[in-house]
Structure 1
């Protein structure tokens, strides 16, 4: 699953920045990157979000800002989606640097400097959602003005950094093949008992060499990243099913409920039952 360079440069001859609104049955896995910044709002759908080495669930209201050359994709749960919709705004460094030279844009400048790892805004305001949903209907100076208003509101929001500080987009083709082979295998088999040897054998490394390689490429240990995938899938089941917490823990690959609860608390800063209550309340608010 090599990250694909997406060429958006031709659109610059038409507009200063690009706006796409997607409304399709589901988002396909398309691991890609581009030199432009990207602000994405999910208007409908649920599934998995991949930003660098970050693996999280997404749902309606998901808002993410991605820096240049950061590999990313959204992938819908096909069996759970009748419609997946998103608004995607992409803009170049050349476009935004004209504004960042002004003192009034210092906060935005600081935010863009750290979005190279991807930023998730857990509580986007209704006003931001409305402006992003309708910006494509505007033209000329009004379109730029609305984008600047969106930027201004973003600087007032809380955010979470997505990719780890150690993550660097992989440029070496051999290493890129290796890590993507591992990621694909982990996603397909995360709910089963995967031995370290089985995964290392995929890319023809010894177990010790594999552990060093994985940590160098992702900034995380293999077991830690696997737990993140499992916790991400557990979050989906906690939100969308009535299965017990014990059932969910075993279904997502954890061998004991005690360990599941401990890992979940570490990753999400709340227990599975607290997460279930919080996520269902959020769905009701966004509905």
Structure 2
């Protein structure tokens, strides 16, 4: 899936930030990047989220900050594209802001080093949790609905203040991640990633995928790793593990059944890859999630 550059504040050159509410049958599947940072709160929806080299499942109540020029996409589950508009909805509230313009604007009011440091951390992309998420989602809703410019500015600075101070977050991308996608790439990655997202629950033969974009297997493996910084097998397994994590939060799924539901050919392989990716066994992961849920925290 080739990321394309996007103009978020196009036609609003003097704007420092903007908000967007999405309420549609499904999210756009376009893999893209832009200069503006993006603070995205998923009100309702589920599927697979890809941000830089991070691949995870997402569902409602997901709060993510995407750094400047990091390729990303929220891809809905397959049922969103085959059922009627009323059966599934994709709802989100997003704050876009240009970090350099924010710094320039607020530096006239005082020291912005803490905010500048936070924007630097945002290059790793961040998932927020706990009380921070609870506070931010309320402020995002208020900001998106408010029309008074001074009240909006107050809400914006309050959001930044909370984000700068919080410790309730996890970074998503690897420390060495860089955007290696080239705009001259054709649509081959679009074909590959959509195929993986829609078919990870079953075997995906390497030859079948390489044939889809008219490459031999060796050339395809080099091409895929140069774009994703992962081997094809690593990438597919991360998609599967991300889906397994989502299912482990649902008590009606037995742990021993998840291997086959998520596309692994054996329970032992599933346990091995899960432990490698998450540092916990699937059962330990579920127990930790349940304990966190009881305490009212996120995993």
| Structure 2 residue 207 is the aligned partner of structure 1 residue 201 | no
Q: State how far apart, in whole Å, the 2-side matches of 1:84 and 1:161 are.
A: 24
TM-score (norm 1): 0.85
Assess, with a 3 A threshold, how the Cα gap between structure 1 residues 78 and 157 changes in structure 2: closer, same or farther: farther
Structure with bigger helix share is: 1
Aligned to 2:113: 106
Q: State how far apart, in whole Å, the 1-side matches of 2:280 and 2:292 are.
A: 15
SS in 2 for 1:104: coil
SS in 1 for 2:22: strand
| Structure 2 residue 182 is the aligned partner of structure 1 residue 171 | yes
| Cα offset, 1:55, TM superposition | 1.6
Aligned to 1:134: 142
CA contact (8 A) 1:41 1:62 kept: yes
| Cα offset, 1:204, TM superposition | 3.1
Alignment of 1:1-287 (within 5 A): 1-10=1-10, 12=12, 15-77=15-77, 79=79, 82-99=88-105, 101=107, 104-123=111-130, 124-138=132-146, 139-155=148-164, 156-164=166-174, 165-174=176-185, 176-240=186-250, 242-279=252-289, 285=296
Assess, with a 3 A threshold, how the Cα gap between structure 1 residues 137 and 185 changes in structure 2: closer, same or farther: closer
| Cα offset, 1:64, TM superposition | 1.1
Q: State how far apart, in whole Å, the 2-side matches of 1:206 and 1:77 are.
A: 29
Q: State how far apart, in whole Å, the 1-side matches of 2:217 and 2:88 are.
A: 42
Q: State how far apart, in whole Å, the 2-side matches of 1:101 and 1:5 are.
A: 28
CA contact (8 A) 2:63 2:133 kept: no
CA contact (8 A) 2:48 2:77 kept: yes
Q: State how far apart, in whole Å, the 2-side matches of 1:60 and 1:163 are.
A: 21
CA contact (8 A) 1:33 1:71 kept: yes
Assess, with a 3 A threshold, how the Cα gap between structure 1 residues 47 and 250 changes in structure 2: closer, same or farther: same
TM-score (norm 2): 0.82
CA contact (8 A) 1:238 1:245 kept: yes
Which structure has the higher relative contact order (CA within 8 Å, separation 6+)?
Answer: 2
| Cα offset, 1:181, TM superposition | 2.5
- After alignment, is 95-104 or 114-123 more displaced? 95-104
Q: State how far apart, in whole Å, the 2-side matches of 1:188 and 1:127 are.
A: 34
Assess, with a 3 A threshold, how the Cα gap between structure 1 residues 47 and 2 changes in structure 2: closer, same or farther: same
CA contact (8 A) 2:249 2:286 kept: yes
- After alignment, is 180-189 or 146-155 more displaced? 180-189
Provide structure 1 residue ranges, at least 5 long, that are not aligned to the other structure: none
CA contact (8 A) 2:38 2:95 kept: yes
Matched pairs, number? 285
Provide structure 2 residue ranges, at least 5 long, that are not aligned to the other structure: 81-86
CA contact (8 A) 1:41 1:61 kept: yes
SS in 1 for 2:249: helix
SS in 1 for 2:74: strand
Assess, with a 3 A threshold, how the Cα gap between structure 1 residues 30 and 172 changes in structure 2: closer, same or farther: closer
